[in-house]
Amino acid sequence: MFSNASNFVQGVDTSFAIILGASLFFLVGITAVMVYFVVRYNKNKHPEAKDVYENKKLEITWTVIPTILVLIMFYFGWTGYQPMRDIPDEGLKIKAYAQMWSWQFEYDNGKFSDTLVVPKDEPVILDLVSRDVVHSLYIPAFRIKEDVVPGVDNKMWFIGQEEGDYDIFCAEYCGDRHSYMLSKVSVLPESEYTKWYNDTTATADHPGLAILKKNACLSCHSLDGSRIVGPSFKGIWGHEVEVVTNGEERTVTVDEEYVKKSIYDPNADVVKGFNQGLMISYQNIVSDDEIKDIIDYLKTLK
């Protein structure tokens, strides 16, 4: 039961063992007494009931003992949790961006990754940033979770103590594809991590595709024509689409001006059949040059 995947697992699992153990004891004990009474004092065996109104000593006992017990449970819950809030000053600082419906991790050197890669045995401090609604970063194997709240500066930390890949889930409901907002944390030996960290050469991806991935565009807009939440990118460049502008339908051609407007002011022209209000403006996030890369890439999606 006790793994050592993060520095918190042992403390949390100790709390689990104590609280679950005590709870199981009471559940079994009280249920057993109840069933025994029902059998023992069944009217066939025990036809004359006897009134017992109260018993002060007994009642005080079963008020005081549970009070003490729950305070003990509280104490273990607190001690297992306290280290999670003692965020060290020194450590590897990574920005974790959450948005519908993907995770992105930004490192000191400007490197972006859609999985969280960390060195073994070193404190990692995550700065949690949401670009739209409330999300929650949950790593079950590490026993940690913290909400990613827009406009609020939440932080979490951990030390990965065993090499391996562990699931990251989004735990706060965030819309259609909440259950697909998954990622991994990879705990690597120091040397492998350093190699990974310093490898800033461009990926094999087209630069436009890399920008789409980095900004979670693909969690709503597919590349293969399938419908997710927004219209697919496949084959849209240069084609005409029906959009709704201020409640009126009109036809526009997908050109540079339209692409830019859709990125900076996504609710202005919404493709017919899709919803307003779900996409954020990328005004200060995606630059003009990056939009050019995106357009170059869109041209390749025939």
Partner 1 sequence: MSVALAQPENFYQAKRGLFSWIFSTDHKRIGLLYFYAIISFFLVAMALGFLMRLELIAPGETVMGAKTYNQVFTLHGVIMIFLFLIPSVPAFFGNFLLPLMIGTDDVAFPKLNLFSWWLYVLGGIFALLTLVVGDGPADTGWTFYAPYSVKTGTNVTLAVLAAFILGFSSILTGLNFIVTIHRLRAPKMGWFQMPLFAWALYATAWIQLLATPVIGITLLMIIAERVFGVGLFDPSLGGDPILYQHLFWIYSHPAVYIMVLPGMGLISEMIPTFAKRTIFGYKAIAYSSLAIAFIGYFVWGHHMFTSGMSGPARVIFSVLTFLVAVPSAIKVFNWVATLYKGAIDVKTPLLFSLAFIFQFLLGGLTGLVIGALATDIHLHDTYFVVGHFHYVMFGGAGFAFFGALHYWYGKIWGKMYNEKRAQIAFWLMFIGFNTLYFPMLVLGLMGMPRRYYDYLERFETLNVISTVGSWILITGILLMIINLIVSRKSGKVAPRNPWGGTTMEWQTPSPPPLHNFDATPVVPEGNPYDHKNNITEKA
Q: Name which of residues 7 to 66 contact partner 1 (CB under 8 A).
A: 11-12, 15-16, 19-20, 23, 26-27, 30-31, 33-34, 37-38, 41-43, 46-55, 58-59, 62-63, 66
Shortest Å, Cβ 282 to partner 1: 13
Using the structure block, give the residue that is written with the tokens 């974790």. 96
Q: What contacts 219, CB < 8 A, 6 or more positions away?
A: 100, 101, 102, 177, 180, 181, 228, 229
Q: What is the token pair recorded at 182?
A: 């998954």
112-113: strand order across its sheet: 112-113, 102-106, 92-99, 123-130, 154-159
* Residue 150 binds partner 1, judged by CB under 8 A: yes
Which amino acid is present at 79? T
Give the whole-angstrom CA distance, residue 162 versus residue 300: 42
Contacting partner 1 within 233-252 (CB under 8 A): none
* Residue 2 binds partner 1, judged by CB under 8 A: no
* Residue 92 binds partner 1, judged by CB under 8 A: no
Are 209 and 218 in contact by the 8 Å Cβ rule? The answer is no
Contact segment (CB under 8 A) with partner 1 among 80-88, 112-120, 199-207, 285-293 equals: 80-88
Q: Which of 273, 295, 109, 95 is nearest to 211 (CA)?
A: 295
Contacting partner 1 within 108-147 (CB under 8 A): 132-134, 136, 138, 140-141, 143-147
Shortest Å, Cβ 214 to partner 1: 21
Q: By C-beta, is 110 or 247 nearer to partner 1?
A: 247
* Residue 154 binds partner 1, judged by CB under 8 A: yes
Question: Which of 81, 196, 258, 264: binder of partner 1 (CB under 8 A)?
Answer: 81
Q: By C-beta, is 167 or 242 nearer to partner 1?
A: 167
Give the whole-angstrom CA distance, residue 93 versus residue 89: 10
Q: By C-beta, is 184 or 206 nearer to partner 1?
A: 184
Are 181 and 135 in contact by the 8 Å Cβ rule? The answer is yes
Give the whole-angstrom CA distance, residue 132 versus residue 281: 10
Question: Which of 93, 120, 178, 260: binder of partner 1 (CB under 8 A)?
Answer: 178
Contact segment (CB under 8 A) with partner 1 among 113-121, 166-174, 205-213, 286-294 equals: 166-174
Give the whole-angstrom CA distance, residue 144 versus residue 7: 10
Q: By C-beta, is 69 or 189 nearer to partner 1?
A: 69
User: Over the Cα atoms of the chain, what is R_g?
Assistant: 28
